[in-house]
Amino acid sequence: HNGPLRLEYRYRLSESGQRAGAAFVTVTGVGASTALSQIVQLVQEAQNRNREVPIQNLADKVSGIFVPTVVALSTITFMVWYALIQGGVVPLSFLPPDEGPSGGK
């Protein structure tokens, strides 16, 4: 079946004689033809293509070293500056106005 499927659920009467309701559903795809399965397939194809590109592997290796190194160096820099300021080694003239080791004036 190539077109949309139309499934109908006819209303039924409840025990009190009232109409219980009706639902009309149009199914536009089933199984491999659904939008979700097509998205999953596209993502899998993109991931498989990346494995075939050597420059991508090099970029992954470089970023795997570069990013942790930058984070570590920035953390160490912060800790050193914090310790130097708290220890009074850095002159207060280096700090912005109204800031100091005691947290203010």
Alpha helices in 1-105 (DSSP H): 35-51, 54-86
Consecutive H or E run containing 25: strand 23-27
Res 17: pLDDT = 59
pLDDT in tens, 53-80: 778 788 889 999 999 999 999 999 999 9
61-99 burial code (b ≥16 CB/10 A, e <16): eeeeeeeeeeeeeeeeeeeeeeeebeeeeeeeeeeeeee
Q: What is the pLDDT of residues 7-60, one digit of tens each?
A: 555 555 556 656 656 656 666 666 666 778 888 888 888 877 766 677 878 888
Give the predicted TM-score (pTM) of the model.
Answer: 0.45
* Token representation of residue 39: 């998205």
The per-residue pLDDT for 22 is 60
Distance (Å, whole) CA 53 – CA 60: 11
pLDDT tens-digit readout, 84-97: 988 889 887 888 88
Q: What is the pLDDT of residue 62?
A: 94
Q: What angle do CA 80, 81, 84 make, to 5 degrees?
A: 85
Using CA atoms, how far apart are residues 30 and 4, in angstroms rounded to an integer? 10
pLDDT at 78: 96
pLDDT of 68 reads 96
